[in-house]
Amino acid sequence: MAIEGDVGSGLIAIGAGLAVGLTGLGAGMAEKDVGAAAVGAITEDPSIFGKAMIFMVLPETIVIFGLVIAIMGIFVM
Amino acid sequence: MFGRRNGKKGNYAYTVARVKAKKSLLMSEEDYSKMLMMTVPEISRYISETGYSKEMTDLAGRLSGLDLLEHATYLNMAKVFGSILSSSTGELHDMVSAYLGKWDIWNLKVILRGKSYGLDAEGIREDLVPAGSLSAESLDKLISLDTEEDIIANFGKMTHVSISTEAMSAYKADGNLGMIEDFLDKVQYERLIQSIDPSSRPSRLFLDYVKEEVDIKNFETILKLKAEGIHGEQVMKYLIAGGRRIDDRLLTLLANAESIESVMSEVSQFEFYEEIKDALESNNLRDAVAGLKKYKIQKAKKFSHLYPLSVVPVIDYMIHKENEVRNIRIIARGTESGLGRETIKELLVI
């Protein structure tokens, strides 16, 4: 199977993949501790579920930055 | 890559979040002030509303008054420590378990004392605090044994603590448990220090903290014995090796001194000196001991803020919980025996 397209768009695709992949890993590492702590805190006091959930998803913002960079790479550059 | 070395790393985030949530429910200075104004039944009702309700209800059928309050607080503490131990994993679990080993020693002492005074199994069981690594079944097995020698031998098999032949022969000679108890007190810290492997940062912190505790314990022993006019070799017998800042040379110096005043230049260099300065100057042993306890609690608090994801916040919580139980008991006992509010307040460590 022949691969179409130039080297530049290939590099952009790799960059976009790295941006999403690496930020995903980073968010995962951050969420590991935040999640464990949130579950621990909820075990003691279930009423703080909402607050714990907000802290839990905060590291997800890192992936959104990665996604934005990836989209910019593919569609804008 | 993610710090999972052979799955041995503990679940620090989970356990620390749990103990921090538990710590927020501990009693405050205001609670103690309120309790100081109450009678024993009122104190019992008050603590039922602040976290001890289940134990108070469970024991209310069998016990009443001061007995109910004391047993319920100890039972609650044992349950809380047990839940921390069961929810922690890896090296964190090992460290918490090693720290709680002191309650195994405590229980052994209760069983030995109970047996020597001829208490029945039920009476001994009521005074146990099953917060250590020995299960209720193991403790029952120890209680069911007839002689003190058997109990000590079986305890040794369960926990790998062997009593020195010197202490054993002293006990056999005059039937006095004192030597065995002193030996157990010493061995508990020495074993704890030996059991910590200082290869990782969290365990090094824990080791530092335990050594600091040994220093405080030794200094407290020295102060108490000095107040009784005992010095020299007699004092050295009761001291625990392996402190952090007070090494063997300093221990010998302090033990051999005629009085604390004569070694003030050495004592003034200790970190806890500021806390006990006034008490030492006025020769007030009670205030000095309370000052040392206060220093220990402050130190644990400081350590736990500096290193939030380590074993120290967990130990910090356990110290605070023990202190809360002790304070409740002091207030209840003091009130029952008619001590003045101010006197009771001075005895509390807040």
Three-state secondary structure call for residue B252: helix
pTM for the full predicted model:
0.84
* Contacting residues of B for A34, CB less than 8 Å apart: 13
Interface residue ranges in chain B relative to chain A, Cβ cutoff 8 Å:
2, 11-18, 20-22, 87, 309
User: Residue A3 has what DSSP assignment?
Assistant: P
Q: Is the pLDDT of residue A35 over 90?
A: yes
**Residue range B200-310 in CATH 1.20.120:** no
Residue among A29, A32, A41 whose CB faces B17 most closely = A41
Looking at chain B, which residue has its C-alpha nearest residue A29?
B2
Helix segments in chain B, DSSP class H: 12-23, 29-36, 40-47, 53-60, 65-87, 90-116, 121-127, 136-144, 148-159, 165-174, 178-195, 201-227, 233-236, 248-256, 264-267, 273-281, 285-306, 312-336, 341-347
Cβ-nearest to B18 among A29, A34, A40: A40
pLDDT of residue B324: 93
To the nearest whole angstrom, how far is the Cα of A61 from the nearest Cα of chain B? 21
Closest Cα in chain A, distance from residue B72 (Å): 20
Can you give the pLDDT at residue B3?
Answer: 41
Band (pLDDT 50/70/90 cuts) for residue A1 is low
Of all residues in chain B, the one with the smallest CA distance to A43 is B18
Query: So what's the pLDDT on residue B2?
Result: 42
Quote the pLDDT of residue B184: 87
- Selecting from A29, A34, A43 the residue whose C-beta is nearest the C-beta of B18 gives A43
pLDDT of residue A26 exceeding 90, the answer is: yes
| Residue B190 confidence (pLDDT) | 84
Query: ipTM more than 0.90?
Result: no
Quote the pLDDT of residue B268: 82
In A, minimum Cα distance to B88 occurs at: A40
Domain spans, chain B: 200-310
Q: Which of B2, B15, B309 comes nearest A40 by C-beta?
A: B15
- What average pLDDT does the structure give for chain A? 91
Residues of chain A positioned with their CB less than 8 A from the CB of B14: 36-37, 39-40
The residue ranking higher by pLDDT, B273 or A18, is A18
Residue B279: φ, ψ to 5°: -65, -40
pLDDT of residue A48: 92
Of the two residues B94 and A25, the one the predictor is more confident about is A25
For B70-108, b where at least 16 C-beta lie within 10 A, e where not — what string?
bbbbbbbbbebbbebbebbbbbbbbbbebbbbbbbbbbb
Q: Which residues contact A44 (CB under 8 A, 6 or more apart)?
A: B17, B18, B21, B22
Query: What's the token pair of residue B184?
Result: 């157990």
Per-residue pLDDT at A66 exceeds 90: yes
Contacts of B25 (CB under 8 A, 6+ apart): B50, B51
Place of tokens 């003091």: B334
Cα gap B18→A33, rounded to integer Å: 13
Mean pLDDT by 10 residues, chain B (350 residues): 54 92 91 91 89 88 86 91 91 87 90 87 85 86 87 86 80 80 85 82 82 88 84 81 83 81 80 82 81 84 81 89 92 90 84
A53 pLDDT band (50/70/90 cuts)? very high
Separation CA B93–CA B101 (nearest Å) = 12
